Amino acid sequence: MEKVIIIKYGELTTKKDNINFFIKMLRNNISIALTEYNYDLTYDKGRMFIRSADIDKCVLKLKNIFGIHDFAVGYTFKEKDFEIVCDNVLALVKEKDFKTFKVETKRSDKNYPLDSMQISRSVGACILKNKDNIKVDVSNPEVLINIEIRNNEVLVYFEKIKGLGGYPVGTLGKGLLMLSGGIDSPVAGYLAIKRGVKLEAIYFESPPHTSEDAKNKVLSLAKSLAEYNLDIKVHVINFTEIQETIYKKVPHEYLITIMRRMMYRISEKIAYRNKMHILVNGESIGQVASQTLTSMKAINEVIKMPVIRPVACFDKNEIIKIAKDINTYETSILPFEDCCTIFVPKHPVINPESHLCEEYEKLFDYESLINKCIKEHEVIKVTCKNENKYEDLL
Ligand code: ATP
Ligand code: MG
């Protein structure tokens, strides 16, 4: 018997024609995630199969792959005689400790002499005869024994491991995540990746007001996201000159609004240049002055590209729960400053007015400042490989 991972696909896109694209993308994503290991991958319209000497390590990687509904580590063998099937199942269940069980059989080989019900019953009887103190429980068994009689092999597997669901990364195109060092934006990124969006990230820094530690923190968060996104490019924008200019020229209650309008403009330009379709950010309705509905409108109206805000309607504790699940929380709460937290006015405007934003923006030549920082921006590729520490990626 040989060990095999049996993967069931997640939610398929509604159009039937997309299934092949979806499967191809999933296969491609799995091969990137498993690149460090030797493995053999086969698939059909219903499932994918992975054979490898590093099964346990592959399992850990598959837990982070979107587009997988569930998977199981099972066993495969070629001899299909019923006696051999029974012996093999017995050998496998002997090592297991349980009181109740159920056998379920699927038979895609329609020429097999027994039908599914007969196989389940006979294997069940065989187990009852050979193992003490156990009984069948069809409604709530402790162990479910799955048998599949396929054309060229038999599969046996037990418990299924829940996959992440969602769509394979990349099936829905590319988006640009505005990634700060906070709690919300990595969670927003994770949720966008879940729906099949391949992300790049953009980070605004303001050295020397923001430190190298703050940047490393963001790269560390990017590395956590790379586990799901498979790798991630981080566009680092030096925002110092823009921020200092705004600070000098603009009435302070509008600092944040104007600064965020600049961030949106730069993000949209970077996104268009890199063939991305949406911006993604961690804004959450009402969280701070810049996230009131009127603020969001005043900020959003400077660009045309859609902005997806996956956590817009989440409470902070709901966001924190996901951040903990995806291991970004501990990094996010490290106390390094963000460019949004320096130059913060005492009384930021809560209901900014568009005509005032436009008026204040006429006070300086923001177009050329924007073009300059886009021209000079740095791109860092962060990969999901285990052995890389983020410091090695700098
Ligand atoms: P987070 O916890 O995600 O940092 P926040 O509660 O601190 O969010 P804001 O600082 O107002 O809220 O930022 C809202 C969103 O704007 C962030 O979630 C992020 O998507 C984006 N953003 C803020 N600062 C930056 C930055 N320095 N670089 C890139 N994006 C940023
Ligand atoms: Mg923030």
Q: How far is the CA of 310 from the centre of ligand 1 (A)?
A: 13
**Alpha-carbon torsion 340, 342, 343, 347, what sign?**
positive
Residue 239's pLDDT band (cuts 50, 70, 90): very high
Q: How far is the CA of 285 from the centre of ligand 2 (A)?
A: 14
Output the pLDDT for position 386.
52
Residue nearest to atom 24 of ligand 1 (CA): 180
Q: How far is the CA of 274 from the centre of ligand 1 (A)?
A: 21
Is residue 288 pLDDT above 90, yes or no?
no
CA geometry: angle at 98 spanning 95 and 100, to 5°?
Answer: 135
Residue 14's pLDDT band (cuts 50, 70, 90): low
Residue nearest to atom 20 of ligand 1 (CA): 281
Is residue 394 pLDDT above 60, yes or no?
no
Q: What percent of the chain is modeled with pLDDT above 90?
A: 88
3-state SS, one letter per residue, for 285-329: CCCCHHHCHHHHHHHHCCCCCCEECCCCCCCHHHHHHHHHHCCCH
Mutating to test ligand 1, I would choose from 340, 349, 373, 378 the residue with most ligand atoms within 8 A of its C-beta, which is: 340
Q: Closest ligand to 214 CA?
A: 1
Mutating to test ligand 1, I would choose from 177, 183, 184, 239 the residue with most ligand atoms within 8 A of its C-beta, which is: 184
Mutating to test ligand 1, I would choose from 177, 178, 234, 314 the residue with most ligand atoms within 8 A of its C-beta, which is: 178
Is residue 230 pLDDT above 60, yes or no?
yes
Q: How far is the CA of 172 from the centre of ligand 1 (A)?
A: 24
Q: Is the Cβ–Cβ distance between 123 and 103 less than 8 Å?
A: yes
CB-count burial class (<10 Å; 0-12, 13-18, 19+) for 81? exposed
Pocket around ligand 1 at a 6 A CB cut-off? 178-180, 182-185, 202-204, 281-283, 287-288, 290, 338-340
User: pTM score, two decimals?
Assistant: 0.91
Output the pLDDT for position 2.
94
Residue nearest to atom 22 of ligand 1 (CA): 180
Q: In this predicted structure, which of 3-17, 66-80, 290-304 has the lowest mean pLDDT?
A: 3-17
Average pLDDT over residues 200-213: 95
Q: In this predicted structure, which of 98-107, 163-172, 382-391 has the lowest mean pLDDT?
A: 382-391
Q: Which domains does the chain have, with CATH numbers?
A: 2-162 (3.30.2130.30), 174-392 (3.40.50.620)
Mind giving me the DSSP string for 236-277?
A: EEE-HHHHHHHHHHS-GGGHHHHHHHHHHHHHHHHHHHTT--
Q: How far is the CA of 25 from the centre of ligand 1 (A)?
A: 31
Q: Closest ligand to 182 CA?
A: 1
Q: How far is the CA of 348 from the centre of ligand 2 (A)?
A: 15
Whole-number mean pLDDT of the chain? 93
Residue 198 in 3-state DSSP? Answer: strand
Residue nearest to atom 26 of ligand 1 (CA): 180
Is residue 330 pLDDT above 80, yes or no?
yes
Residue 72's pLDDT band (cuts 50, 70, 90): very high
Could you identify the atom of ligand 1 that is nearest to the CA of residue 260? 16
Helix pair 116-130, 82-94: axis angle to 10 deg: 50
Residue 373's pLDDT band (cuts 50, 70, 90): very high
Q: Amino acid identity, residue 142?
A: E
Q: Is the Cβ–Cβ distance between 233 and 200 less than 8 Å?
A: yes
Closest CA relative to residue 298, chosen from 351, 255, 341, 344:
351
Q: How far is the CA of 340 from the centre of ligand 2 (A)?
A: 6
Output the pLDDT for position 303.
98
Output the pLDDT for position 388.
41
Output the pLDDT for position 315.
97
Output the pLDDT for position 45.
83
Is residue 390 pLDDT above 70, yes or no?
no
Output the pLDDT for position 392.
41
